[in-house]
């Protein structure tokens, strides 16, 4: 009986409260046009904060906070607040589809949210993209690199239309995509003098995508692909697989995957299994956690990590200002993606400022439209624009290796 | 590499991985044999064993251990045996405590209640491991990334025993697994067959009420079973860390799943069944990675399990369970 009472009270509360609160929101909306300066403005980010990507995402969140602090946390007189959401769960130690879906729903339900910065993993983007698209909220990813999210011809035949139920583009990214990255990796494998390559992926959206591009490019430039396989990211080791690659005579192993999908273990097993091939991995491994998981010994001089952009230390112009200011504010080196977090927030804020300067109202619709108009934007990553698909025109890539427990750049490709 | 070399190599890897799985599987099968409970927390007790091993190694000074100059000297074998005993006792004690606190009050409750309790304990332990991973120690990456995989230092020299030019790789860690696992298995078998407590275990497994009537302290027997199962799990966690050089708070999930599969494959409740099941799964995994494709390995493992269960529902060595009335 007691529980029944409690339950009916809850149901009552749940149904009645919105009725009472609705007029309040209604008033807000109708008066919005009159008092442009009122109404909260909010940017949220959805990144994997639990798990080994934490160091990377903390650095990205710092970048976003810096961008907001630079405008004093305000657009005109309106306060611009920021919330840092986690899309990972402890059970997975990695992004979780259920949590990412919740985050998207939460953003849609909160009328103050005008922009959604995220996601980190391309697989996660697939979940929130259609939701946010239908709601007309602008989404700017600082890290998704899977080409099929925005470009036709890379994934399923219904991609990317399936992510755009409204038919409009609401998803933008400030990072070059994997059709560039995978090709740079394949070219580099050839430069290393390899003739036979073995291509692995982690069976996730991002890993499979970038490995597919690598494989295609490798064949085009005359490398022999001696094997293709998908690994089990939760396996205890890959020693048997290493033996198979050894038998195939692999000189370069390409792994499309991330630190969270066991790239570290793979690097170790290549060494312990006596396979003398070099390992090339994409930007999902461009984080300190990868070096910690694999150990310096398994990587130094044997592993190469491609990254869409350059080492933060090598940034120029506004990027250099960012690097200096980051170190001063947070007292440490930024991880590779910090500057992308910063740039993503910057591009949204710049759009908001343009709307404000023109005397417009800041709504989801106006912010979305204005972000889409970003052209010849001069930011920390140089001067770039968003193309019709929502992708950046910036195509700078770097190839890095590991030395003394840190990344060092081997080559920059523009 | 010639076909024979490849095959030899896969047999080595299959056996090494399989032995570790078998050790964990023994913990599942022993507990099931005695109280018919699938102890889902076993895999996570195993995880904590790995974390204790890394903590001990870190406290002793990881730098001294990874110094190549001192590698392979007998003190490292001593450290390894020490770790097996320390982690074994820790996991055994942990298992006994879990039984006392959670399972014992539920002994007469419906089986499903116990099962759900076991899953609950499993979640608690996973989060405990996550918390432990944030320990402010150098070996834990300074405690900044609790959920990240941790690098477990090499305790034994890593060179190829068959010579650096040999295509087949056999390392000291492979040998260590055999040197530690096989005596443990023989010891366990003798213990259950020959000792008084072992007889008590077999009697309790057959019929707990009759065993109690015959004057066997069944609670003590059950506690001993949890202790031994946990000890083997702890030993396995050291082997696992040594072999893979990585630990993570999720390592018990896959190890536990493989081990549970092994226990079912061999016939749950049967000790030799769990050993054979573990080794079989290790070998099947290696062969599937080599001759089929890695992406199909899980399908192959569970396909074999289903096939065996279709033709022998109680597993390879399992006895037909009579429904107790």
Per-residue pLDDT at A19: 42
Per-residue pLDDT at B322: 53
Higher pLDDT, B321 or A150: A150
DSSP character at residue A308: S
- How many CB pairs below 8 A link A and B? 115
Per-residue pLDDT at A53: 84
Which of B6, B10, B130 minimises the CB distance to A90? B130
In chain A, the residue whose alpha carbon lies closest to the alpha carbon of B288 is A240
Which of B1, B145, B294 minimises the CB distance to A232? B294
| Contact residues, A window 237-296, toward B, CB-based 8 Å cutoff | 237-241, 243-244, 246-247, 259, 262, 264-265, 268, 272-274, 289, 292-295
pLDDT at A119 over 70: yes
Higher pLDDT, A188 or A395: A188
The pLDDT tens digits for B188-230 are 999 999 999 999 999 999 898 999 999 999 999 999 999 999 9
Average pLDDT over every residue of B28-35: 93
What ipTM was estimated for this complex? Answer: 0.91
Q: Could A272 and B158 be called an inter-chain contact, meaning their C-beta atoms sit closer than 8 Å? A: yes
pLDDT band at B320 (very low <50, low <70, confident <90, very high): low
Q: Could A240 and B285 be called an inter-chain contact, meaning their C-beta atoms sit closer than 8 Å? A: yes
* Per-position b or e across A172-200, b if 16+ CB within 10 A of its CB: bbbbbbbbbbbbbbbbbbbeeebebbbbb
pLDDT at B71 over 80: no
Per-residue pLDDT at A240: 95
Beta strand A113-118 pairing with A171-173:
unpaired
Residue pair A119/A47 in contact by the 8 Å Cβ criterion = yes
Residue pair B13/B223 in contact by the 8 Å Cβ criterion = no
Q: Could A51 and B245 be called an inter-chain contact, meaning their C-beta atoms sit closer than 8 Å? A: no
In chain A, the residue whose alpha carbon lies closest to the alpha carbon of B243 is A237
pLDDT band at A133 (very low <50, low <70, confident <90, very high): very high
pLDDT at B23 over 90: yes
Q: Could A240 and B147 be called an inter-chain contact, meaning their C-beta atoms sit closer than 8 Å? A: no
Of A189, A191, A399, A404, whose CA–CA distance to A299 is shortest? Answer: A404
Per-residue pLDDT at A310: 86
Among B79-93, B120-134, B136-150, the minimum mean pLDDT is found in B136-150
Per-residue pLDDT at A400: 93
In chain A, the residue whose alpha carbon lies closest to the alpha carbon of B249 is A93
- CA A268 to chain CA centroid, Å, is 26
3-state secondary structure of B43: helix
Among A1-10, A29-38, A306-315, A391-400, the minimum mean pLDDT is found in A29-38
pLDDT band at A171 (very low <50, low <70, confident <90, very high): very high
The pLDDT tens digits for A316-338 are 889 999 999 999 999 888 998 99
Which of A230, A265, A274 minimises the CB distance to B246? A265
Decide if A91 touches B, using CB distance below 8 A: yes
Residue pair A196/A227 in contact by the 8 Å Cβ criterion = no
Query: What are the start-end ranges of the E strands in A194-335?
Result: 196-201, 224-230, 252-256, 278-281, 303-307
In chain A, the residue whose alpha carbon lies closest to the alpha carbon of B240 is A236
State pTM to two decimals: 0.83
Contacts of A86 in chain B (CB under 8 A): none
**Chain B residues whose C-beta sits inside 8 Å of any chain A C-beta:** 1, 6, 9-10, 13-14, 17, 126-127, 130, 141, 144-145, 147-151, 158, 160, 167, 169, 171, 240, 243-246, 248-251, 253-255, 285-286, 289-290, 293-295, 297-298
The pLDDT tens digits for A179-216 are 889 999 999 999 999 999 999 999 988 899 899 999 99
Q: Could B289 and A244 be called an inter-chain contact, meaning their C-beta atoms sit closer than 8 Å? A: yes
């Amino acid at each position: 009986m007691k529980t029944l009472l409690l339950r009916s009270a809850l149901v009552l509360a749940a149904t009645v409260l919105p009725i009472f609160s609705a007029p309040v929101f209604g008033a807000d909306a109708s008066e919005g046009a009159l008092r442009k300066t009122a109404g909260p403005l909010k940017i949220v980010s959805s990144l994997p904060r639990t798990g080994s990507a934490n160091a990377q995402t903390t650095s990205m969140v710092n970048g976003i906070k810096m961008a907001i602090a630079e405008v004093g946390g305000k657009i005109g007189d309106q306060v611009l607040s920021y919330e840092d959401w986690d899309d990972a769960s402890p059970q997975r130690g990695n992004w979780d589809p259920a949590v990412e879906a919740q985050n998207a729903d939460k953003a849609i339900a909160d009328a103050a949210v005008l922009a959604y910065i995220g996601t980190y993993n391309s697989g996660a983007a697939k979940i929130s993209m259609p939701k946010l698209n239908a709601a007309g909220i602008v989404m700017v990813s600082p890290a998704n690199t899977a080409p099929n999210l925005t470009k036709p011809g890379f994934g399923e035949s219904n991609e990317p239309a399936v992510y755009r139920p409204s038919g409009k583009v609401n998803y933008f990214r400030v990072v070059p995509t994997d059709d560039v990255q995978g090709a740079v990796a394949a070219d580099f494998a050839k430069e290393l003098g390899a003739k036979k390559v073995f291509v692995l992926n982690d069976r996730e959206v991002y890993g499979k995508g970038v490995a597919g591009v690598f494989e295609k490019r490798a064949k085009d430039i005359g490398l022999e692909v001696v094997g293709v396989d998908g690994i089990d990211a939760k396996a205890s080791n890959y020693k048997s697989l290493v033996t198979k690659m050894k038998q195939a005579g692999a000189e370069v192993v390409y792994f499309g995957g991330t630190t969270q999908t066991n790239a570290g273990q793979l690097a170790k097993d290549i060494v312990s299994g006596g396979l003398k091939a070099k390992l090339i991995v994409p930007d999902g491994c461009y984080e300190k956690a990868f070096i910690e998981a694999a150990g310096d010994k398994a990587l130094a001089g044997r592993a190469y990590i491609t990254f869409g952009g350059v080492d933060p230390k090598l940034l120029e112009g506004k990027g250099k200002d960012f690097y200096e200011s980051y170190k001063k504010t947070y007292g440490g080196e930024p991880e590779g993606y910090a500057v992308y977090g910063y740039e993503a927030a910057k591009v949204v804020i710049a759009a908001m400022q343009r709307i404000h300067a023109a005397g417009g109202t800041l709504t989801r619709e106006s912010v979305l439209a204005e972000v889409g108009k970003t052209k010849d934007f001069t930011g920390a990553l140089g001067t770039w624009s968003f193309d019709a698909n929502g992708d950046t025109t910036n195509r700078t890539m770097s190839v890095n290796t590991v030395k003394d427990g840190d990344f060092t750049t081997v080559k920059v490709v523009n | 590499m010639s076909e024979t070399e490849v095959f030899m190599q896969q047999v080595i890897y299959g056996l090494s991985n399989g032995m570790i799985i078998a050790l964990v599987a023994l913990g599942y099968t022993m507990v099931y044999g005695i109280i018919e409970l699938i102890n889902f927390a076993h895999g996570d007790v195993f995880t904590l064993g790995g974390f204790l091993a890394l903590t001990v190694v870190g406290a002793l000074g990881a730098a001294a251990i990874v110094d190549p100059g001192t590698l392979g000297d007998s003190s490292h074998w001593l450290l390894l045996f020490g770790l097996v005993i320390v982690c074994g006792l820790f996991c055994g004690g942990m298992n006994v405590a879990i039984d006392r606190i959670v399972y014992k009050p539920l002994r007469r409750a419906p089986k499903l209640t116990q099962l759900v309790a076991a899953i609950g304990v499993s979640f608690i332990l996973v989060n405990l491991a996550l918390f432990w991973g944030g320990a402010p120690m150098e070996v834990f990456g300074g405690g900044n990334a609790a959920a990240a995989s941790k690098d477990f230092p090499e305790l034994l020299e890593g060179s190829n025993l068959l010579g650096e030019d040999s295509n087949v790789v056999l390392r000291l860690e492979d040998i260590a697994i055999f040197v530690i696992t096989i005596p443990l298995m023989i010891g366990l078998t003798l213990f259950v067959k020959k000792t008084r407590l072992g007889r008590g275990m077999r009697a309790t497994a057959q019929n707990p009420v009759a065993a109690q009537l015959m004057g066997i302290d069944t609670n003590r027997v059950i506690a001993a079973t949890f202790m031994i199962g946990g000890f083997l799990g702890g030993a396995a966690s050291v082997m696992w860390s040594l072999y893979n050089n990585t630990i993570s708070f999720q390592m018990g999930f896959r190890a536990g799943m493989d081990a549970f599969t092994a226990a079912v494959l061999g016939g749950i409740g049967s000790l030799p069944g769990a050993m054979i099941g573990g080794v079989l799964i290790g070998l099947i995994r290696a062969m599937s990675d080599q001759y089929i494709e890695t992406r199909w390995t899980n399908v192959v493992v569970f396909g074999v399990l289903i096939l065996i269960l279709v033709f022998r529902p109680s597993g390879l060595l399992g006895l037909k369970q009579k429904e107790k009335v």
